[in-house]
């Protein structure tokens, strides 16, 4: 978990006072430290390339803010995209098509055509998709996604690599799928798998690499096809709790490189999202009310699961601090809940904090991955603003939505307007 400095009792984010950010841009607001983002990318790129030639493909479903994408483009990252919207966002941020790998599931013909038109390589998820793509363009650059029967993740909702999951071609059929791709006219460039999200055990990454290397070599020996890259997906976790340790990138990279030793693999691809962006960003939210019940005390804030759904959806832990009483001793235990008309609308449960009062500013840690990207307009509430901090200065990188934004695309038939 990232540590933050303080000035007197005020939390600093990239050297900027959290209270000043909230006063200037309002709440709720998500705040990203640009230096932390660059630092995370460089650490991961350095660890893997120290032991094997590696391309880092940022899994942009974690966060597609154009400023975040622009920073990572400057750092030399490539992209893992899962929708045409993500593809277009990355193109707009300056990524060339060859630096994007589109990996969709249940992809429509229309979306495949759009990806082909943009000349973005496609990571094919099924033999059915392969055949539909051949009818559009049988010479388009592709890779194939296999279900490796190796799954991991912080929740069953994010495990993607187990047998029976909806993702990928079963490993028992993958060599046949490569043969079918050749028959249809394709020249596949790579092999891909993804175990799930939120793992730190090096042996999991080693196991999936071992499965992929075996397939890689069988494709070479049985079909005479020399693939250009082996893609082990992402899923590297971060420490959300104060007592948790940061994953050992060097150990993960060494475990993977050990499984590649002696193989014909020339380039490794990894697809981290969470590791790169999660701990770069915090959510600042204002206390609207403090309520006591016979059972527990509540801190009621202006951000709910419409702003950050992970606690309600995954039972995920996010650390909470009082940004304007930062460093003060914890005194009382609270549940932190939002303004939505839902009993399940909470951000944190049973947290010891300094005595909280109306008007205080809470900081929710580690929201950079799947924070804004999973937010919604539930209860007809606008989505929050986003701010980037760099060299001690804050920059608005997404305007707060207003009521006009929520109503803009609605149409009322004339007969109902009379």
Q: Which residues are catalytic?
A: 341
Q: Per the structure block, which two tokens stand in for 399? A: 């305007």
Nearest CA to 55 out of 182, 210, 224, 228 is that of: 228
* Beta carbons of 144 and 169 less than 8 angstroms apart: yes
What CA–CA distances, in Å, run from 311 to 17, 46, 141, 333, 370? 26, 32, 39, 18, 11
Helix then strand then coil, in percent of the chain rounded to 5, is 35, 25, 40
Helix or strand or coil: residue 414? helix
* Beta carbons of 150 and 211 less than 8 angstroms apart: yes
Helix or strand or coil: residue 316? coil
Q: What burial class does residue 139 get, using C-beta atoms within 10 Å of its C-beta: 0-12 exposed, 13-18 middle, 19+ buried?
A: exposed
* Beta carbons of 144 and 124 less than 8 angstroms apart: yes
């Amino acid at each position: 978990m990232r540590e933050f400095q303080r000035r007197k009792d005020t939390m600093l984010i990239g050297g900027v006072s959290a209270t000043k950010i909230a006063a200037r841009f309002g709440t709720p607001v998500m705040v990203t430290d640009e230096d932390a983002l660059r630092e995370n990318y460089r650490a991961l790129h350095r660890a893997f390339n120290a032991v094997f030639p590696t391309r880092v493909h940022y899994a942009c479903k974690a966060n597609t803010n154009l400023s975040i994408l622009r920073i990572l483009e400057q750092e030399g990252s490539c992209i893992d995209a899962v929708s045409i919207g993500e593809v277009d966002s990355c193109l707009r941020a300056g990524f060339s098509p060859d630096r994007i790998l589109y990996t969709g599931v249940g992809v429509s013909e229309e979306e495949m055509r759009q990806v082909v038109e943009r000349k973005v390589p496609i990571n094919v998820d099924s033999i059915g998709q392969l055949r539909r793509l051949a009818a559009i363009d049988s010479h388009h650059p592709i890779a194939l996604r296999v279900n490796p029967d190796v799954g991991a993740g912080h929740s069953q909702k994010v495990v993607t690599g187990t047998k029976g999951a909806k993702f990928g071609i079963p490993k028992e059929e993958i060599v046949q799928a490569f043969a079918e791709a050749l028959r249809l006219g394709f020249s596949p460039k790579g092999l891909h798998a993804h175990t799930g999200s939120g793992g730190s055990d090096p042996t999991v990454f080693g196991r999936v690499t071992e499965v992929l290397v075996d397939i890689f070599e069988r494709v070479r020996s049985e079909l005479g096809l020399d693939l250009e890259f082996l893609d082990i997906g992402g899923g590297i976790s971060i420490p959300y709790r104060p007592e948790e340790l940061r994953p050992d990138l060097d150990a993960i990279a060494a475990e993977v490189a050990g499984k590649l030793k002696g193989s014909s693999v020339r380039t490794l691809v990894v697809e981290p999202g969470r590791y790169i962006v999660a701990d770069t960003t915090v959510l600042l939210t204002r206390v609207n009310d403090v309520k006591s019940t016979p059972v527990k005390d509540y801190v009621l804030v202006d951000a709910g699961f419409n702003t950050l759904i992970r606690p309600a959806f995954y039972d995920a832990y996010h650390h909470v601090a009082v940004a304007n009483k930062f460093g003060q001793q914890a005194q009382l235990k609270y549940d932190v809940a939002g303004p939505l008309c839902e009993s399940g609308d909470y951000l944190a449960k049973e947290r010891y904090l300094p005595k909280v009062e109306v008007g205080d500013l809470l900081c929710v840690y580690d929201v950079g991955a799947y924070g804004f990207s999973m937010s919604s307009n539930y209860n007809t509430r606008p989505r929050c603003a986003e701010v980037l901090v760099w060299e001690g200065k804050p920059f608005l990188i997404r305007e707060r939505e207003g009521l006009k934004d929520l109503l803009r695309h609605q149409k009322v038939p004339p007969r109902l307007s009379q």
